Structure 1
Amino acid sequence: MLSVRTDLAVEAKELYEEKNSGKIPGVEVKEYREGLIKISNVKVVDDEGEKALNKPKGSYITIDIPEVSGYDKDTMEEISEVLAKVLSPLIKLDNSMTALVVGLGNWNVTPDALGPKVVEGLMITRHLKELIPDQIDEGIRPVCAIAPGVLGLTGIETGEIIKAVANKIKPNLIICIDALASRKLDRINRTIQIGDTGISPGSGVGNKRMEISERTLGIPVIAIGVPTVVDAATIANDTIDMVLDAMINQATKGGEFYNMLKSLERNERQSMIEEVLNPYVGSLMVTPKEVDSVIDSVSRIISTGINIALQPALNLDEISNYIS
């Protein structure tokens, strides 16, 4: 595996394929489309697959969405409905079972505020089912949510907070939303990953915290994430690839500079760039300048998709009326 920071299973698959030829052992890949939206399902089926991709056994579904700036209401709802369609088979609950939604991240840092912003748009019903059950449709599931912050704000491991809350309210399912890291610029804010193996917050930016999964909590955990940052060293490495392509297009192939860059494997270039950058900028993660508006749009897409998936008895208009 290359030393590139990414939380996306589809990118781990691509990295493996770049270094190895042939089918990835222990991994099944399925790709299809819902209209213009591409969906990839990378399924790690055994220990060999775990080792190849460095991902726990389970399914990792990636939804590639269009450019997010300037989304209109219809487009956002279309993406939300696709998200709900992908998410629904993973939600194995009857109407009496409780779902706990957790918005991971730091609400004071925009690229890391996706989770808390998603929580703001959720249809929260657990208290209503308990306090005024006669006034709530039987088909509405009890849903509760928290945005526990991060260790630097609370002094408490996020996983410990979630475990304490789960022990008290005993949910049947936990859905975690978090900002992720990608290795490709064109996936930033344009990819949604859904996984059924839980999550280790901060792992993509080298700040791994306590794992949140069925193994640690004893409750099924679904993780939903969007890459909002990319490693600066990865950007520099991608730039070198573009320079090489430009040299080929301009018939400069064969020059001394070209041969020097071409002779280095991508992993070697990545290490060299990190070594050069680190004394000046440290471990620098980069996000697009329009991240504020993009996070607002993507958080609404995800919260609407979760609402649709968790409340199948309601249509989108009924859900929207409840929230408003």
Structure 2
Amino acid sequence: MSKEKFNFNIRTDLAIETREMVRKEQDIEVPGVKVTVEEQKEKKITVTWVEIINKEGEKQMGKPIGNYVTVESPLMKENDVEAHEEIIKILAKQLVKIKNLKEHEVILIVGLGNWNITPDALGPKVISKVFVTRHLLENVPKQIDASVRPVSAISPGVMGITGIETSEIIQGIVKKIKPDLVIAIDALASRKTSRVNTTIQIADTGVHPGSGVGNKRKGLNKETLGVPVIAIGVPTVVDAATLVNDTMNHLIEAMLQEATPSTNFYEMLNKLNEEEKYVLIKEVLNPYVGNLFVTPKEIDEVIDRLAYIIANALNIALHPGIDLKDINRYNN
């Protein structure tokens, strides 16, 4: 069975998880993929930079050549102001690193998702908190500090609300205002419950709107828009099959510890690979729950916290004259 099919069936939007699955399946480091990891143990923050460097890596990972950065911390979803401030600084640093912006470049920020559905409302929530400055620079340029870049922002909604493909809306805006960079924020899906609402991924390869709920639309990337696209996403849901699959893995591990190696049933369980288990579970669940996605019960508060983190990281990264003290002063 090809790795492309393997990666497609196991539901995740995170490059770090795809790399973990392929590496586990092959028992070697993924060819064509370079990985670096940084940890800040005090705040429990881990930064993993996955770089797909050639066609072999692209084939193995099932993702385009490019950079995928994940910032992980279990404190993201908690009400921990100090940890959030540190995460903001680290995220802003990674944003600057992944795209070295030139002075006065025009930025368009797009908040993808459905503001009526909380797990899918991350993009619109971020848009409500970013500093938009393009209109100020056009109308009162002398009063604005030179270190503030022209930034526009929009939350175009979803096709179920507008009747229009998100990519068509963004293409029209890009054609009119001619930004140098598009930054798209969207909800994602994870294959590990531990990464839901605790992981932010930045990618310089663009995004497929609706990917977090398994409803991929036409992509937003350099090929479709004609300008570079940075994607920022947070896994806010897992599908039911993934949740059961993880539970089954823990169950099998516990059962294997108690079973004798000669027992055929447990040998069979031990030989099942991730895809076989996932496909089996999905087939069993489908008649009863269909394409069900699961999100934590405290999702309302968590989405607000994540939107605050991402928006302020963008504010710092895009406007060199602004730091966290300025943001806190403005918010107060």
Smaller-chain TM-score range?
A: over 0.9
Task: Report the counterpart of residue 133 of structure 1 in structure 2.
Answer: 141
Find 1:295's aligned residue among 294, 297, 303. 303
The one-letter amino acid of 1:188's match is V
Classify 1:308/1:259 alpha carbon distance in 2 versus 1 (closer, same or farther; 3 Å).
same
Verify the 8 A CA contact 1:123 1:323 in the aligned structure 2.
no
Q: Aligned equivalents of 2:184 and 2:311: distance in 1?
A: 12
Classify 1:54/1:145 alpha carbon distance in 2 versus 1 (closer, same or farther; 3 Å).
same
Alignment of 1:131-280 (within 5 A): 131-250=139-258, 255=263, 257-280=265-288
Alignment of 1:63-102 (within 5 A): 63-102=71-110
| Corresponding position: 1:20 with 2:26 | yes
Classify 1:143/1:273 alpha carbon distance in 2 versus 1 (closer, same or farther; 3 Å).
same
Percent identity over the alignment is 52
Residue range with higher mean Cα deviation, 20-29 or 80-89: 20-29
Post-superposition offset of 1:70:
3.5
Cα deviation digits, residues 137-158 of structure 1 (max 9, x gap) = 1111111100001111111111
Cα deviation digits, residues 68-126 of structure 1 (max 9, x gap) = 34323222111100000111123333332211100000000000000000111101111
The one-letter amino acid of 1:101's match is I
Post-superposition offset of 1:255:
4.9
Q: Aligned equivalents of 2:86 and 2:18: distance in 1?
A: 28
Task: Report the counterpart of residue 47 of structure 1 in structure 2.
Answer: 55
The one-letter amino acid of 1:16's match is V
Verify the 8 A CA contact 1:121 1:323 in the aligned structure 2.
no
Q: TM-score, normalised by structure 2?
A: 0.93
Residue range with higher mean Cα deviation, 298-307 or 205-214: 205-214
Verify the 8 A CA contact 1:80 1:302 in the aligned structure 2.
yes
Verify the 8 A CA contact 2:66 2:204 in the aligned structure 1.
yes
Post-superposition offset of 1:253:
6.2
Q: TM-score, normalised by structure 1?
A: 0.95
Q: Describe the SS at the equivalent of 2:218.
A: coil
Task: Report the counterpart of residue 33 of structure 1 in structure 2.
Answer: 39
Alignment of 1:99-114 (within 5 A): 99-114=107-122
Classify 1:253/1:71 alpha carbon distance in 2 versus 1 (closer, same or farther; 3 Å).
farther
Q: Aligned equivalents of 2:131 and 2:328: distance in 1?
A: 9
Post-superposition offset of 1:249:
4.0
Q: Aligned equivalents of 1:58 and 1:226: distance in 2?
A: 18
User: Unaligned stretches of 5+ in structure 1?
Assistant: none
Post-superposition offset of 1:319:
3.0
Post-superposition offset of 1:268:
1.4
Post-superposition offset of 1:251:
5.3
User: Unaligned stretches of 5+ in structure 2?
Assistant: none
**What is the number of equivalent residue pairs in this alignment?**
324
